[in-house]
Structure 1
Amino acid sequence: MTSSATVPIRLRLAQLAAHLVVALIALVVIGGATRVMEAGLACPDWPLCYGSLLPGRQMNLKVFLEWFHRLDAFVVGVALLVQLGAAWFWRKELPRWFLPLSFLLVLLVVLQGGLGALTVLQLLPSSVVTAHLVLALTLVIVMSGLTQRLLHTGSKDAAAPRWWPFLGGISLAAVSGQCLLGGRMASSWAAQRCLQEGQSCQWLHWHRSAATPAAICVLLFVATALIAGGWARQQWPLLITATLLVSTQIGLGVLTLRLGLSQPAVTVGHQLVACLLVAVLAALTWRRPSAPDSPLTIARDSSTLEPCHG
């Protein structure tokens, strides 16, 4: 059981992690909007933009998207360094896994920054852009799971059902794989070439074919949890959210194709819902029951953290 002296710092770090989840989702979506608007090279240099921290005369929508994407990445990097510093300073009071995981997150964001630089310096190669997305989704998954583990203070007697991480992990892997197929398709402009020229249609076919198994995995996970009852059914807010996100994602995907990718807002919305679904599934997969007499549980129930951390 966690002592009452360690509750405040653990809660504050959970709040920081929750805000980082939001910032990472924004980073992925803004990156997607940058690609959709063909603004990936709006700032021709790196890390500055037209040789300055804040471009003035060159500022337009495309430049703003690329510049703001870099700014968000910088803020995330600083926040992760703060988290690492806190993990080191309070390492005796926090779980042993927190310090190495915080260090790993810093390494991942540094690598992410390097891939971001390569996308500009090498003029948007498809493989690098896809790797950039892979790492971004990895950061979202790890940070969302980290938030849950910071909130979990239960003992061995307060464990999730054995099927919970299994079905949750399968759902998360299926949706993440679907996102990567979509990212690869988008970074190579395969959908546009397929719709306009009838070329490179295999990526679009694979993306559409994988949508059904991914949706089935999520719905099976949700149905099992609701039928099982107990603690699993108590997670219904996030379970229902995952169901709604799957339905919305399918609808946006169909609409995107019917519009011939001509509406950037619909395409970006499709990417936003996908990233939200990944974050929610990661939160569910790593969620564990808290001990009934845990001070952290009492403090969390009286705060506004619960609605936002996923």
Structure 2
Amino acid sequence: MQIIYPPKPRFRLGQLAAHVVVALITLVVIGGATRVMEAGLACPDWPLCFGSFLPGRQMNLQVFLEWFHRLDAFFVGIVLIIQFMLSLRWAKTLPNWLPWTYGSITLLVAFQGFLGALTVLQLLPSLIVIAHLAVAFTLVAIMSGVTQQLLNPGKSIFPLWLRSFGFLSLFSVVAQSLLGSRVATSWAAQRCLDFGDSCNLLGLHQLTAIPVSFLVILFVIVSSFQRDIFINQWPYLLTIIFLITTQIFLGVFSIHLGMSEPSLIIGHQLIACLLVAVIAALNFKGRGIDESSQSLFINQSTLEACHG
């Protein structure tokens, strides 16, 4: 029997990258909660909050959300810098693209911090908030892909044409999410539902949700026709179907309830972020074999000894 596994440095970085993906998704969700709870300016200064690292008597739910959002972003940045440094230290045992990728991600995180500062200092301008979310989704997609390439290296499980279909689905989900952010940051949904104003933007978001959902579902169906992919990746495919279905219901119920339930709106952004992470992971997942993988040969007697 032959078992293929990545070398220890690669495996450790892959595990760390997986944790960063979770932290990034959490960061996006907390950012969404901060916006829904109108806490984006709860801390009037940046990078401190009321002039201190930990605000005392000013602390309430809104201040906590904004403060914790910054704290999570800080720790994510530190962990990414550590990963970049480790990729340089272990460069000889890692793929050549990895240090460059981590270096680019580090710069992207610095830019994200700059956008975060602008959202506070410029009093939450809509376009900067959307750019902030766009960079966040980009980081989630890249880190999800890096995780898969570290833990499941090698040639993509998809043929080129199907992988292109997957990336098209990924980009459509991101674009639809950014359009939704535009609706939220301009308060178009509330104005449309309450006063019949700015309904064109909300209508566009609802209209484009149909082809985006159809495209993602079609990607899953076409992927399922590939026997090897269906057998080995059915949990990913099933998860995508579950997420896109849940996303549709959350959007419909949010509008039906007049955007009055913050949990539904936050959940809507969470599902969008999870869709980005899962579709990106599936598109970057390799077959588990490349030039840096190691082979371990195990015979029956070895298995018996391990069992004992």
State whether TM-score is above 0.5. yes
1:152, distance to aligned residue in structure 2 (A): 2.8
1:21–1:143: 8 Å Cα contact kept in structure 2?
yes
Structure 2: how far apart are the matches of 1:159 and 1:275?
23
Unaligned runs of 5+ in 1: 299-310
Structure 1: how far apart are the matches of 2:65 and 2:203?
30
**Aligned pair 1:289/2:287, yes or no?**
yes
One-letter amino acid matched to 2:151: L
Structure 2: how far apart are the matches of 1:70 and 1:87?
26
One-letter amino acid matched to 2:214: I
2:223 — aligned with what?
A: 225
Larger radius of gyration: 2
2:212 — aligned with what?
A: 214
SS across alignment from 2:159: coil
Structure 2: how far apart are the matches of 1:177 and 1:297?
44
Question: TM-score, length-normalised on structure 1?
Answer: 0.90
1:139 — aligned with what?
A: 139
Q: Deviations over 1:174-196 (max 9, x none)?
A: 11111010011111111111111
Q: Deviations over 1:5-57 (max 9, x none)?
A: 97111011001110010000011110011000000000001000011111111
2:278 — aligned with what?
A: 280
One-letter amino acid matched to 1:199: D
2:118–2:128: 8 Å Cα contact kept in structure 1?
yes
Mapping 1:156-195, distance limit 5 Å = 160-195=158-193
1:225–1:233: 8 Å Cα contact kept in structure 2?
no
Change (3 A) 1:164 1:5: closer
Q: Deviations over 1:276-301 (max 9, x none)?
A: 11110111111121239954899xxx
1:77, distance to aligned residue in structure 2 (A): 0.3
Structure 2: how far apart are the matches of 1:210 and 1:244?
19
Q: Deviations over 1:89-137 (max 9, x none)?
A: 1111110110111001110111000100000011111111111111111
Structure 2: how far apart are the matches of 1:104 and 1:289?
25
2:53 — aligned with what?
A: 53
Question: TM-score, length-normalised on structure 2?
Answer: 0.91
Structure 2: how far apart are the matches of 1:144 and 1:19?
10
2:133–2:178: 8 Å Cα contact kept in structure 1?
yes
1:18–1:144: 8 Å Cα contact kept in structure 2?
yes
Structure 2: how far apart are the matches of 1:264 and 1:160?
38
Report % sequence identity: 56
Structure 1: how far apart are the matches of 2:250 and 2:128?
26
2:158–2:283: 8 Å Cα contact kept in structure 1?
no
CA RMSD of aligned residues (A): 2.0
Unaligned runs of 5+ in 2: 298-308
1:260 — aligned with what?
A: 258
1:19 — aligned with what?
A: 19
Aligned length: 293
- Worse-matched range after superposition: 225-234 or 43-52: 225-234
Mapping 1:67-146, distance limit 5 Å = 67-146=67-146
- Worse-matched range after superposition: 216-225 or 237-246: 216-225
Structure 1: how far apart are the matches of 2:66 and 2:153?
40
One-letter amino acid matched to 1:80: L
2:241 — aligned with what?
A: 243
Structure 2: how far apart are the matches of 1:24 and 1:35?
17
Change (3 A) 1:296 1:122: farther
1:66 — aligned with what?
A: 66
SS across alignment from 1:92: helix
SS across alignment from 1:235: helix
Structure 1: how far apart are the matches of 2:36 and 2:241?
26
1:67, distance to aligned residue in structure 2 (A): 0.3
SS across alignment from 2:33: helix
Q: Deviations over 1:158-182 (max 9, x none)?
A: 7532233112111101111110100
One-letter amino acid matched to 1:23: A
Structure 1: how far apart are the matches of 2:97 and 2:54?
39
Matching residue within 267, 270, 281 for 1:269: 267
1:34–1:65: 8 Å Cα contact kept in structure 2?
yes
